[in-house]
Amino acid sequence: MNYIIPFLILITIVVFIHEYGHYYFAKKYGVGITDFSIGFGKEIFGWNDKSGTRWKICWIPLGGYVKFFGDRNVFSQTEQQEILNKYNEDDRKKLFILKPLYQRSIIVAAGPFANFVLAILIFVIINMVSGKDLTPAVVNEVQENSPAFIAGMKKNDKIVSIDNKKVESILEVSTFINTSTSETIEFLVLRNGQEISLFVKPNLIDGKDSLGNSIKKRIIGIRLVPLNNEFLKEPLPPTKAIYYAAKEVWFVSVTSLNYLGKMIVGSADSSQLGGPIRIAKITGQVAEYGIIPFFSIMAYISISLGLINLFPIPMLDGGHLMFYLFEKILGRPLSQKTQEGFFRIGLFLLFSLMFFVTFNDLRDLGLF
C-alpha cells in the first residue's frame, strides 16, 4: 500500500496533464468533447460539466483518454460527405475530423507537449525553492589500475565535461557516466590550468542504486569529495531555473532516445527497461524521502510519457501525427485498409513491449 498510493497519485497527475493538453486545444479550436477519462474500464465516479463533457475516474489507472464528439476516422471523400449529412450545421463545427489538418495536429501533439511543460515546471520550482547543486567535480582519489588510472586521470583533476556534456555539479558525474551509451567515455579535465582530454573505458558491474534496486553500473574508479565536505547548493533566480529545467528535460529526452536506439540494435542492457510495477516500486521508495524527490520522479515519468507518446506507432499520439504527415503529403488520408494494417503492427509492438517490461518487472521482484 505504501507503494500503491504514491504511484496512483503520481500517475493520476501525469495522465491528467497529458489529457488536459489535448482537451485545452480541442476546446480552443471548438471541438466537442464527450468524455475526459482518467483510467480505463468501468467508471468509479464522474460528473457532467455545463458543456456536456463527462469527467470520470475509471478502475484501471494506467492511462486515460479524451473522446471527441462524433469521433471516428474518415478515409474517403464519400465518408466525409456521410458525416456532413449526419449532423446539422452547429454539430459539424464541433467535429474533430472536419477541423483543418494543422489544428488536428496541434490537438494531438498537445498531450505530449503538456507532459514536457509539467516536467519543466516541476524542475523550475525545485531549482527555485530547494536549489541546484553547483559543487565543482574535483577528483579526490583515483584507484590504482582502475579504468580512470589507466586513462591518466589524477587526483585534483577538475572534470569539465563528459562526452561533450558540461559538468556543472559533482552529482552529474555519476549520471553522465551511467547514461552514456559509448564504450569509451571522453572526459575533459582541468589540470594546472590546462584542459586535457582523457578516454576512459568503464567497467560494467552488478550493483545497487540509492534505493537498493539492482542495476548495471559503469565504474571508472574515482572518488569525488566536495571541498570541506560541503555541497554548494543555491536557489536559482527564475531565468536560470527555467534554463536548467529545460536543459534537464532535453538531457533526459536525448539520453532516453539514445538508450532505446542502442537497445534496439542490441548494445544496451534491456533488463533496465521497466513497466508499471517497477515504476510503482520506485515511486513508493522515492516518496519515503520527501516531497522534493517525489516530484522529481514525477517529472521524469512525465518526460517518459510524453516521449513515448510521440513514437510513430498507431494508437499513440505519434502514430496519429504520422498519419497526418501522410495526409499532408498525399493530399488525402490513407485508405482504411492501410491504416488498419498500421494499427495491427502498432498493436503487436505495444503488446510485445508490455510483455517485455512486465517480464522485467517480475524478474526484478525475484519471481523469475
Catalytic machinery residues: 19
Is residue 195 within 8 A of residue 187, CB to CB? The reply is no
The three cell numbers of residue 255 are: 539520453
DSSP β-bridge partners for residue 147: none
Q: Smallest Cα–Cα separation from 200: which of 141, 136, 153? A: 153
Is residue 166 within 8 A of residue 160, CB to CB? The reply is yes
> What separation in angstroms does the CA of 109 have from each of 23, 311, 361?
11, 11, 30
Q: Smallest Cα–Cα separation from 270: which of 279, 283, 261, 282? A: 261
Q: Smallest Cα–Cα separation from 175: which of 183, 157, 184, 163? A: 163
Q: In whole angstroms, how large is the CA radius of gyration of the chain?
A: 24
Q: How far apart are CA 33 and CA 26, in angstroms?
A: 8
